Amino acid sequence: MKKTGVLVVNLGTPNSYAKADVATYLREFLMDGRVIDIPHWKRWMLVNLIIVPFRAPKVAHEYEKLWLSNGSPLMVYGKELVEKLNQKFDDTVVVELAMRYQNPSIQSGLERLRQSQVDQIIVFPLFPQYASATTGSVAEKVMEIVSKWNVIPSIQLINSYHDNMLYIGNFADKVRKDIKRHEPDHVLFSYHGIPERHLDNMNEEGLELCSRCMGNTCEKGSEKRYCYRSACFETSKLITEKLKLPQDKYTTAFQSRLGKDPWIKPYTDATIKQLAQHGTKKLLVVSPSFVADCLETTLEIGEQYRDLFFENGGNDFNFTESLNADDAWVQTIFNLLQREIKKNDLTISHNISASLIDFDPITSPN
């Protein structure tokens, strides 16, 4: 019977909140050419001489604040998620956890799948909206590693599920409960930002396609499925439609920018400040691009943006917890993987049937 290996991949986390471990993590992360897309020598100088020396102590302190008794939230939720998935599958499917940066590495995860003698591998990045710096980087790393294997199994990448209605429903259910509990004046959907040039570099037509969506809305078209900004706006739209939330009661924005280059807009911090100054007193923030709580949700949103909102006149700030290892989210991933496995099985059955039809017992050799 065909055996499937699943590699569930998140961004990564330092091995501990010690400054040295955080510095090691930051170096690996920021030296990725898909994250900081400038010439290697410039990137090396920027990362090793400027960013890491100045940011590592501060980031280490932030990690210490959110660290759980058994590790970083990203690692804890990741392990729980994979454990639940393995319990749902029979012994024809094995699921492994990997991080794009640091441990457990993609290489170690793929090696464990190879040792399990899987016939096919499905890579499931925990990034609903495709971006070159996340899903694209995972795909590149996987291909780099397996290209050195003597026997390369069939490999599929689930690279975008931002409009999958099960995923949409998972977030909508959590937001609905928080709206009922907190009764916010406004809901802010905050996604991780990327530099504007990442959109323009998508393909030869990138600038033409994305120049139309730099305002507070984003046009949707089939040719823009891999436009990160467009996918984020579509996710917000689908969640709010499920919640029956009026357009004037929610906003989409982008957080976590780094450096002085322009990043996709509107910016979350500027939006929060503007909402508070224009009379929004009760704000709920949701982060659908983060399927597990981490620095960006717990501290950037939960502390920094909360303080910003209060400083500018707001008086009630809440954020919706992420999907983490919720049973409903585990079921969604299970369904997505099952669909991919069945699709592959049907393809194989079709190919075998076609071969039997084409087989000529008279002219074919014994």
What DSSP line would sit under 56-119, residue for residue? HHHHHHHHHHH-BTTB-HHHHHHHHHHHHHHHHS-TTEEEEEEEEESSSBHHHHHHHHHHTT-S
pLDDT at 217: 56
**How would residue 280 be classed by pLDDT, with cut points 50, 70 and 90?**
very high
Please determine, for residue 235, whether its predicted confidence score (pLDDT) is greater than 50.
yes
> Whole-prediction pTM value?
0.90
Name the phi and psi angles at 354, rounded to 5: -65, -40
- Exposure letters 302-341 (e unless 16+ CB within 10 A, then b): bebbbebbeeeebebbbbbbbbbbbeebbebbbebbeebb
What is the arithmetic mean of pLDDT over 44-61? 96
Query: Does residue 87 sit in the same domain as residue 107?
Result: yes
Query: Does residue 301 sit in the same domain as residue 338?
Result: no
pLDDT at 102: 97
Query: Does residue 201 sit in the same domain as residue 214?
Result: yes
In a domain, 43, yes or no: no
Query: Does residue 183 sit in the same domain as residue 297?
Result: yes
pLDDT at 358: 45
Please determine, for residue 86, whether its predicted confidence score (pLDDT) is greater than 50.
yes
Contacts of 303 (CB under 8 A, 6+ apart): none
Q: What is the pLDDT of residues 131-169, one digit of tens each?
A: 999 999 999 999 999 999 999 999 999 999 999 999 999
Q: What is the pLDDT of residues 198-207, one digit of tens each?
A: 887 665 444 4
Query: Does residue 235 sit in the same domain as residue 275?
Result: yes
Question: Chain-wide mean pLDDT for the chain?
Answer: 90
The gap from C-alpha 260 to its chain's centroid, in whole angstroms, comes to 24
In a domain, 238, yes or no: yes
Query: Does residue 127 sit in the same domain as residue 112?
Result: yes
Q: What is the pLDDT of residues 167-211, one digit of tens each?
A: 999 999 999 999 999 999 999 999 999 999 888 766 544 444 454
The residue written with tokens 């467009």 in the block is: 230
Query: Does residue 10 sit in the same domain as residue 122?
Result: yes
Please determine, for residue 352, whether its predicted confidence score (pLDDT) is greater than 60.
no
Please determine, for residue 366, whether its predicted confidence score (pLDDT) is greater than 90.
no
Please determine, for residue 259, whether its predicted confidence score (pLDDT) is greater than 70.
yes
Please determine, for residue 363, whether its predicted confidence score (pLDDT) is greater than 90.
no
pLDDT at 225: 65
Query: Does residue 213 sit in the same domain as residue 195?
Result: yes
Q: Where are the alpha helices (DSSP H) in the chain?
A: 19-30, 40-45, 52-66, 73-88, 106-115, 137-146, 165-182, 196-200, 206-210, 228-243, 268-277, 306-311, 327-358
Q: What is the pLDDT of residues 10-43, one digit of tens each?
A: 999 999 999 999 999 999 999 999 999 999 999 9
Domain interval for residue 120: 4-16+67-160+326-350
Pairing of strands 154-157, 282-286: unpaired
In a domain, 55, yes or no: no
Q: What percentage of the chain reaches a pLDDT higher than 70?
A: 87
- 298: domain CATH number? 3.40.50.1400
In a domain, 9, yes or no: yes
In a domain, 107, yes or no: yes
Query: Does residue 183 sit in the same domain as residue 291?
Result: yes
Query: Does residue 85 sit in the same domain as residue 120?
Result: yes
CB atoms within 10 A of CB 105: 17
Domain count, the chain: 2
> How many Å apart are CA 194 and CA 191, to the nearest integer?
9
CA angle 342, 100, 198 (to 5 degrees): 95
pLDDT at 343: 84
In a domain, 225, yes or no: yes
In a domain, 61, yes or no: no
Q: Are residues 317 and 306 in contact, defined by beta-carbon separation less than 8 angstroms?
A: yes
**How would residue 355 be classed by pLDDT, with cut points 50, 70 and 90?**
very low
Please determine, for residue 117, whether its predicted confidence score (pLDDT) is greater than 90.
yes
In a domain, 10, yes or no: yes
Query: Does residue 219 sit in the same domain as residue 287?
Result: yes
Query: Does residue 139 sit in the same domain as residue 210?
Result: no
